[in-house]
Amino acid sequence: MWGNLSLNAKYAMVEDDAIVCAPSPFIATDDWFLLGVLNSHAADWYVHQVAVTRSGGYMEYKPVFVEQIPIPTAVESDVRGRIAVLAQSAQQKCQSGVSAKDEEREIDELVYAAFGITAEERQEIEQSSL
Confidence of residue 99 (pLDDT cuts 50, 70, 90): very high
What is the number of other CB atoms lying within 10 angstroms of the CB of residue 18? 11
Q: Beta-carbon neighbour count of residue 5 at 10 Å?
A: 15
> At residue 102, what is the residue type?
D
pLDDT score recorded for residue 130: 59
> For residues 79 and 66, what is the distance between their CA atoms, to the nearest angstrom?
22
pLDDT in tens, 22-34: 778 888 899 999 9
Q: pLDDT tens-digit profile of 49-71?
A: 999 899 888 999 999 999 999 99
* pTM (predicted TM-score): 0.91
Does the pLDDT of residue 87 top 90, yes or no?
Answer: yes
Query: DSSP letters of the chain?
Result: ---SEESS-------TT----S---------HHHHHHHTSHHHHHHHHHHSPB-GGG-EE--HHHHTTS-------HHHHHHHHHHHHHHHHHHHTT---HHHHHHHHHHHHHHHT--HHHHHHHHHHT-
* Partners of 59 in beta bridges: 6, 53
Q: Does the CA dihedral 8-101-84-92 come out positive or negative? A: negative
